[in-house]
Amino acid sequence: MSQADRYFIQEYSKLINEGFSDKDFEVRPKWEDGTPAHTTKIFGVVRTYDLEKEFPILTLRTQSFKTAVREILWLFRDKSNNINDLNAHIWDQWADEKGSIGKAYGYQLGKKYVYNDNGTYQFMDQVEHLIYKLKNSPMDRRMIVTMWNPSEELEMHLAPCCYETLWDVTDGKLNMTLIQRSGDLVAAAGAGGFNDIEYALLVHMVARECNLIPGKFIHYINNLHIYDRHMDLMPKIAFNTKYPAPTLWINQEKTSIKDMTENDFKLIDYKSTKLEEKIEIAV
């Protein structure tokens, strides 16, 4: 059994046995038919993966690895907020007629700021500055990338869920903590799901560019929840056959995120069970 499978089962069990339902409260999300989308939630979920040992992807339910690669490259390589630059339909519900999701995610990553690095002033975006710091000042304790910007939240079609990463280098290993304000266990934020896959990939990408070894990936979720219409799906996932984690392959010829494409990443020996039922998404 993979570590992601273990976490998924543990978190599902905690949600069922200890979760708090918001059914008696007014909620923002709605189903496509206009019905309020209620959830059962738990607070303060923490997962720790050792990326030297395994890649965090769920085997209890098949995950779309290629789509996850496309999305993380769309964000951190392209720094785009337009779905026309992404060969996937993840963001269709939040895009306007031009394909924009507003000043969210990639827009925030691509904004340039003036940084003062020990008296040297540099004009960079957050991703460029992170890589600069990792290469030139790896003991820095301010290596933070954030997509949370209250001054522009009204211009975002969706406030970022995964909104901040904190980075650390210890003994030649690159460690990262992902902070997520809200996570849907079934759609994306479950252990070994899209969010785990994408940000574990990001650690591998940045480590390659900075000549470091991928180390610990810690994922903190403030509010992890199951939607009411997803409850019946859970037994069909949690009790599936469990397989070992696959191995991540990366094209060794690519050393910069700017040059990486979805074809530079593959999973070797990924075994899983496909979920036949369609997952309804609340907006």
Cα-trace Rg, the chain: 19
HSE value, Cβ hemisphere, 13 Å, CA-based, for 171: 2
**Contact of 167 with 144, CB cutoff 8 Å:** yes
Structure token digits, residue 57: 């992807």
Long-range contacts of 202-205 (CB under 8 A, 24+ apart): 202/72, 202/76, 202/165, 202/176, 203/51, 203/174, 203/175, 203/176, 204/51, 204/248, 204/250, 205/72, 205/76, 205/257, 205/260
Instruction: Give the 3-state secondary structure of residue 128.
Output: helix
> Residue 251, Cα to own-chain centre: how many angstroms?
22
Q: Is residue 162 flagged as an active site residue? A: no
What is the amino acid identity at position 160? P
Catalytic residue among 4, 58, 90, 161: 161
Dihedral of alpha carbons 251, 191, 230, 37, sign: negative
Select from 151, 179, 147 the least CA-distant residue to 160. 147
- Active centre residues (catalytic): 161
